[in-house]
Amino acid sequence: MILLLAILFCGYFILAGLDYGVALVATGRRELDRIAPFFLGNEVWLVAAIGLLFGVFPADEGRLLGAYRVPAGLALLGVITVTATFGLRIFARPSHADGASGVSPLDGVAKIGGALAALGWGAVLGATWHGGPFSISVPVVAGALGMLAVVGVHGWAFLRRRWAILAATTAVLIGSVAVAGSTITWHPASSTAVDLVAPVAYALVPLLILIQGATWWVFRTRHVSEPSAVRRTGSA
Amino acid sequence: MSVLDIARLQFATTTIFHFLFVLLTLGLVTLLVVLQTSWLVTKKPVYERMTRFWGRLYVINYFVGIATGVVLELQFGMGWSGLSHYLGDVFGAPLAMETLIAFFLESTFLGLWIFGWGRLNRFVHTALIWLVAITAYLSVFWVLAANSFLQHPVGYAQGADGVIELTDFGALLTNPTFVVALPHVVFAAIGTGGFVMAGISAWHFIRRTPEIEFFRKSLRLGVVTAFVGIFLTIGAGFAQFGPVGQVQPTKFDGPSRAGAVADFTARFGPGDYAPPVYATIGLGFMILIGMVLFCVGLFIPLLHRDAIIRLQFPLYLLLLAIPLPFIAAIFGWLIREGGRQPFAAYGLLPLEDAITPGLSAGSALASYLIFTVVLAGLAVTDWVLIARAAHRGPAEPTPGALTPLA
């Protein structure tokens, strides 16, 4: 179960890290649109990860979120800001023109949201590794700033299609989750509860990864907003 | 205000915001299934346009639904870690099911549906909206099962330290507070979708829209759905009084209330075990609004020869009716949750044991104010955008992904 939980949390940071990273470094609508088809599927890994945590390690869920509610709350503000600005930006055209470059004031809000999410989750990971009650300690600050940097590069690498760098940031994110998670003493739920949730999780996590992969496959060509070598004849 | 009051206020605010968006999500997705399947079967272009128009409103609404939902999910641990500690073994299981089976699948399918227009085969694309709807209803199923445990704890055993353990998962699903509440919530959502569709269509007829066929079909579908929804909601609502009164004797003013209060006082000490005023007043107003909405049945005969449009006044009434199902739903939750007070789990865990230990009033207040302002801002922005998209009508320059990209 710990492995499944790790997969979900790593999946969240890798995929939603793209959302926050792109929000941080994007310079306009076309770049934001690159991540748009995947945005929804990326963000929901958080809901699943916390859900599984609640289901199989409820005591730890309460302990961790209760103790680190300040950085988690910060991250949450970032997450909902990015979610809302992406959704509203993409699915509803504001009445005033966006401008030729496709830049809108909402982009700035998305940047702040992405930054808050990265800082907040980094602080949570740092506080988890440090252990004990929450305080603005070195690991917390290092975790926050480190996550901001990694997420920013992560998003940038996605936009520039620098897959090697993307692999590196992915590895760093996995490593951070693993290191923070390894310091936790886990208290599993009763066997009745675990026997209930575990089969569902074991069945669904691979399915969800498969669907995630299918989504990436369906939208593997350039997004509709981009000039596409696949769609037209002539140069892209 | 004590820390407990602030934490309770925050949870109530978050839940109310979340449910306002959930209602419309559930109602509209049901209608989208009807519309897109009609398009698949009849191939009439008007059904495709209807799916896209109402689908756009659905998608705008969905995003803020997610935002409020994530806040709610984390609030259990952040503000109420005592609940996680004492009740988590039982409460966590249905919640985990909801996030894994229902919500995660629903959002993934929805992402494919939104961006798959024209890219995916029509059958596959229609199947996707069916899957989105089914998983949305599964979400209601699991969340309500979890909440019902708090209303009437079943299927557990309590250890000496007060921590409970799940012993019988089936008991969670046969819980009377779950079985009778589920149809009530489901039909309330369907009715809400109907009233919103009817009201927005009415608006366009008031504005003399040229899209006569489009909004005529939407108006008729909306009115019929609204009536079926409210009719069954009221039925399922009255059906709850018996079972709920039995397992939560302090919630309603009945003969067993005094005995229950005495029992609680003996076990948990002196306290206020009657439902708060806002809950009982809320119950009355919810029923009153339900009766008013029930009158939409009178509009069904007016559908004949489009009398409902030519008479004009029904259009204004339908427009004014749009907020009513939402207000009724909030009142409904006030009695359901308010009537559970002062317990986190009725008769099992008092609220003061459920709150996160060591919360300071200052941090609780800051958290409440910041999140309420942000969520309110999101909600208002979202509704403005929905209103704008609704007002703009179905005209689209070119079809493509379900966005105004084209």
Residue A70 to residue B363, Cβ atoms within 8 A: yes
Nearest CB partner across the interface for A218, out of B60, B96, B112:
B112
Whether A224 maps to a domain, the answer reads: no
- Token pair for B275: 């439902």
- Structural domain including A36 reads 2-94+101-218
Whether A170 maps to a domain, the answer reads: yes
Whether A89 maps to a domain, the answer reads: yes
C-alpha span between B189 and B236 (Å, rounded): 13
C-alpha span between A163 and A149 (Å, rounded): 17
Taking CB atoms and an 8 Å cutoff, what residues of chain B touch A38?
111
**B158 φ/ψ angles, rounded to the nearest 5 degrees:** -105, 130
Q: Is the Cβ of B209 closer than 8 Å to some Cβ of chain A?
A: no
Residue that the structure tokens 């006569």 belong to: B212
Secondary structure element (H or E) that encloses residue B47, with its range: helix B45-79
Whether A164 maps to a domain, the answer reads: yes
Taking CB atoms and an 8 Å cutoff, what residues of chain A touch B400?
224
Q: Which of A138, A207, A150 is nearest to A175 (CA)?
A: A150
C-alpha span between B18 and B40 (Å, rounded): 32
DSSP letter for A186, please.
Answer: P
Nearest CB partner across the interface for A48, out of B62, B99, B112:
B99
Q: How far is CA A117 from the centre of its chain?
A: 8
Which residues fall within 8 angstroms of residue A52, CB to CB, at 6 or more apart?
A1, A4, A5, A8, A197, A201, B96, B99, B100
Distances (CA, A) of A126 to A112, A142, B56, B126: 21, 7, 40, 45
Whether A202 maps to a domain, the answer reads: yes
Whether A233 maps to a domain, the answer reads: no
C-alpha span between A40 and B382 (Å, rounded): 17
Q: Nearest-CA distance from B241 to chain A in Å? A: 31
**B345 φ/ψ angles, rounded to the nearest 5 degrees:** -120, 120
pLDDT tens track of chain B, all 406 residues?
889 999 999 999 999 999 999 999 999 999 999 999 999 999 999 999 999 999 999 988 988 888 899 999 999 999 999 999 999 999 999 999 999 888 888 988 888 888 788 788 899 999 999 999 999 999 999 999 999 999 999 999 998 888 999 999 999 999 999 999 999 999 999 999 999 999 999 999 999 999 999 999 999 999 999 999 999 999 999 999 999 989 998 888 878 888 888 888 898 888 888 888 988 899 999 999 999 999 999 999 999 999 999 999 999 999 999 999 999 999 999 999 998 889 999 989 999 899 998 888 998 999 999 999 999 998 998 899 899 889 988 877 555 555 533 2
Nearest CB partner across the interface for A66, out of B60, B77, B389:
B77
Whether A234 maps to a domain, the answer reads: no
Kindly identify which residue of chain B lies nearest to residue A54, measuring between CA atoms: B92
Whether A228 maps to a domain, the answer reads: no
Residue A81 to residue B382, Cβ atoms within 8 A: no
C-alpha span between B377 and B52 (Å, rounded): 26
C-alpha span between B192 and B227 (Å, rounded): 10
Q: How far is CA A190 from the centre of its chain?
A: 30
Q: How many distinct structural domains can be found in chain A?
A: 1
What pTM does this model have? 0.91
